[in-house]
Structure 1
Amino acid sequence: MTFGKEPIKAAGSDHQDPGSNQSRISVPRPVPATERDTRLDVFRALCLLTIFINHVPGQYLEYLTHKNIGFSDSAEAFVLISGLAVGAAYGGKFVAGARLALTLKMWRRALTLYVAHIMTSVVTLAIFAGGALYFGRQDLIGEINIRPIVEQAEQGIVAMVLLGHQLGYNNILSLYAALFLMLPGILWLNVVGRWLLLALSAALWLAAGWFKLVPSNFLDEGYWFLNPWSWQFLFVIGILSMNHVRAGGRLPRHWLLIGVSAAYLTVSAFWVLFSWWNIDFSFGLPAVLTGFDKTFLSLTRLLHVLALAYLLAITPVISRLTRLENNHPLVMIGRHSLAVFIFGTILAMAGQVLLFVTGKNPIIGSLFVIAGIGLHFVYAYYLEWLKDVAVAKPLRAV
């Protein structure tokens, strides 16, 4: 995938099919492996900020995010970007002799994500329980799927630790942990054959949606909000797209693709704005192909995020605007994505409690979100300062 006429990270040159009449984006030269492409960081930062805004429902800024004009939201965009980043980081390294070390590294990352998920879930419980005690609002315990844990404490704690119960707005990190557990197998299949990987990934996505294959919860009859067997398909698409670019491929810039993508985004915008949800176009097909389910990543949502990504990728002005310096605030947020996401999640949970005890006042909520966005930048600067201090200490010792 390319942004405008510039490659993402280690993109190389490519040949053009002599018989093709399609206009294609040229890739002038490879980007050195040591040069970080800040465009992914910028888009990741925008997703993180949007996720934070959407995780404090009931305030005005929520209506400004793109979930209000399309089928997908920042969760889909973030998973796609993560796939691109993983493809850039590991795509060319999963070779014989290095696979065991890389597999252990990926699984260590999965463990980090799991621990982060448990930590944010425990802090979320503390925030809501603290709000219930301090403000005398026991009804807070009924929010975001907390009550089953309170009513069945022994089973609830075990279920949460074993990923058998998820709190609302605390279900993305568990998805990422599952994806990183799957990542060595994904990269091995990528070595065997990229088309084989794409076909198997698509088959798993379809089967998961068709037959409702999804990790179950222990405390109730529900299941994971974000099904890893479904969302892995978008993750794999990101990896394959980046590998295509790294191998010298290019993204076709054809008027038909542009027109179809723009038309689909337009239709989805009208669909959401005018609430056309009662229109039935299923024709007896399974919901994964015709519905709008987020858990199983229905085709409507998948196509929306891909169409949006395609139009952003082929627009040169977007490429120029998002190629920022390494010390730009947005780049810093994107570079420290996990820590910033944890920070934003905890902040959003505090914001939910604040809105709850103030009668869901949208003005108070909006002011909180604006302040929270500012704190995201402050925290990113702090993390960057810590990194600089860590680098400077060995130098002083020498």
Structure 2
Amino acid sequence: MTVAPISPHLHGYALAYPGGDGGRDLRFDFLRGFAMLSVIAAHLEMFSWFNFLFWERLGFVSAAELFVVASGLVLGAVNRRVFDKNGFEQVTMRAWRRAFILYRAQVVVILLVTAIAALGVLDFTALTTFTDRWAGTTYLLTPEPADPWMTQLGQAVLLQRSPHQIQILSLYIVLLAICPLLLWLLRVRLLGIYFALTWALWFSEWLAPPDRLLLGMQFEYAFPPLAWQVLFTHALAVGYFRAENAAWLASAPRRGLVISLSVALWFGFLLLAQASPNPSFPNWARLPLLAPDAFLSLYDRHFLKDQLALPRLLNVTVFFVAFYALLTWFWRPIARALGWLLIPLGESSLYVFLMHLVFVLLIDQLPGYFDHVPSFDAVWPGEIWVDTVLYLATVLGLWLMVRSRFLFGIVPR
């Protein structure tokens, strides 16, 4: 991943990101590290002070969307250079090789979790099941222990069952599998076909019957591929035409308009998110902008994560633009304060993503954890501090594992 030179208007600005001709773009690593903090807050099903930041409090955006957008941008930019130097065959092999690495990692995790859980030594329900705390319904996510071993193996190999914490890997595998075709369409400038295809697939998801599984994989309940590909394909195109986009934004008025509009829209979404009647948060943490019923009706129509309606897509877009602009303009103080933590987590995001399951499992062994709806009222005033310490211990533990390169020769990065 190369660093794009910063715009000429930032040269000499002491706080800005120091662009160059080579090396990694640390802004993407920083953003992925930030997204990992959100992933950990979501998968540690307890209420800490960090929930006020990461449970859709910065707008209607999740870590999954940030990862998909960042991946598309990076793949588009990197593979354009690969296309120029080595051609379509190398582009295809790179994408499919990465898809196989993700596939192998997910299958191994499924089989390990299933086998170790069957021993009964530890309580693996945090990984083998998903419980809808509000409905009180529990779903088995890993292969059924009573099934024949061939059935269990088949479900793992076909990615039909998987711990919900890593199901998004299945989406990445699908997206990487079709990535060469998408890059070829961009290469030959068939942009009309490219965007017509991606939006046709998006609309087809809206017209499909509820809970229809296109591939027969569990990840489709949370990340329907026909809907979620629209994030990836647009990010891929933006990354592929990064130089052209930078040239278009070289105009100061145009650049200022894009950034100002994005920041203003993101701030509007942020304010709207504070009106959520989510009972996990106390009344003092809400803004009375909408009546609870009105907010829920609006949210269910336009902001559900699995559907990715246009307003949510817009929220993701402006959040990413605003975040990236913030990092570009104020990189040095931000990196000095948080870069030591977030950049290593982002550089090894796949490793962190896989290894955070260990911490989820260990915390689940504590009596009473993950057994109730996580809410501020349930943990105030004492337990919220314990939960916050557990969250920080998980983040710092993963950071130490990355810094010490623990099992780097086994666990992919």
Classify the TM-score, shorter chain.
0.7 to 0.9
Q: Which moved more, 1:155-164 or 1:145-154?
A: 145-154
Distance in 2, matches of 1:385 and 1:111, equals 20
In structure 1, stretches of 5+ residues that fail to align are 1-7, 15-24, 388-398
1:130-141 alignment runs, 5 A limit: 132-134=120-122
Counterpart code for 1:82: S
Identify the residue that residue 217 of structure 1 maps to in structure 2: 216
In structure 2, stretches of 5+ residues that fail to align are 131-138, 278-285, 373-377
1:59-78 alignment runs, 5 A limit: 59-61=47-49, 63-69=51-57, 70-78=59-67
Identify the residue that residue 312 of structure 2 maps to in structure 1: 301
Contact 2:3 2:22 survives alignment (8 Å): no
Per the alignment, do residues 31 and 109 of structure 1 end up closer, same or farther by CA in structure 2, a change over 3 Å counting? same
Shift of 1:106: 1.0
Residues 107-127 of structure 1, C-alpha deviation per residue, up to 9 Å, x if partnerless?
A: 011000011112222344356
Distance in 2, matches of 1:171 and 1:262, equals 30
Contact 2:266 2:319 survives alignment (8 Å): yes
What's the secondary structure of 2:203's corresponding residue? helix
Contact 2:113 2:128 survives alignment (8 Å): no
Find the partner of 2:79 among 58, 68, 90. Answer: 90
Identify the residue that residue 239 of structure 1 maps to in structure 2: 236
Per the alignment, do residues 86 and 355 of structure 1 end up closer, same or farther by CA in structure 2, a change over 3 Å counting? farther
Identify the residue that residue 150 of structure 1 maps to in structure 2: 145
The answer to whether structure 1 residue 310 and structure 2 residue 306 are counterparts is no
Distance in 1, matches of 2:144 and 2:407, equals 39
Shift of 1:357: 6.2
Identity, % of aligned positions: 22
Contact 1:42 1:330 survives alignment (8 Å): yes
What's the secondary structure of 2:93's corresponding residue? helix
Shift of 1:139: 10
**Across the two proteins, how many residue pairs are aligned to each other?**
361
RMSD, aligned CA: 3.9
Distance in 2, matches of 1:355 and 1:194, equals 57
Contact 1:129 1:141 survives alignment (8 Å): no
Find the partner of 1:269 among 274, 295, 303. Answer: 274
Residues 43-72 of structure 1, C-alpha deviation per residue, up to 9 Å, x if partnerless?
A: 111111221121111231452333332322
Distance in 1, matches of 2:233 and 2:291, equals 31
Counterpart code for 1:303: L
Residues 264-289 of structure 1, C-alpha deviation per residue, up to 9 Å, x if partnerless?
A: 33223324656867438989xxx8xx
Identify the residue that residue 341 of structure 1 maps to in structure 2: 353
Residues 374-398 of structure 1, C-alpha deviation per residue, up to 9 Å, x if partnerless?
A: 11111111229979xxxxxxxxxxx
Identify the residue that residue 10 of structure 1 maps to in structure 2: 4
Contact 1:344 1:376 survives alignment (8 Å): yes
Contact 1:261 1:311 survives alignment (8 Å): yes
Shift of 1:84: 1.9
1:158-307 alignment runs, 5 A limit: 158-193=154-189, 195-196=191-192, 197-211=194-208, 214-217=213-216, 223-247=220-244, 248-249=246-247, 250=249, 252-254=255-257, 255-271=260-276, 273=286, 278-279=293-294, 290-307=301-318
Per the alignment, do residues 368 and 194 of structure 1 end up closer, same or farther by CA in structure 2, a change over 3 Å counting? farther
Contact 1:39 1:324 survives alignment (8 Å): no
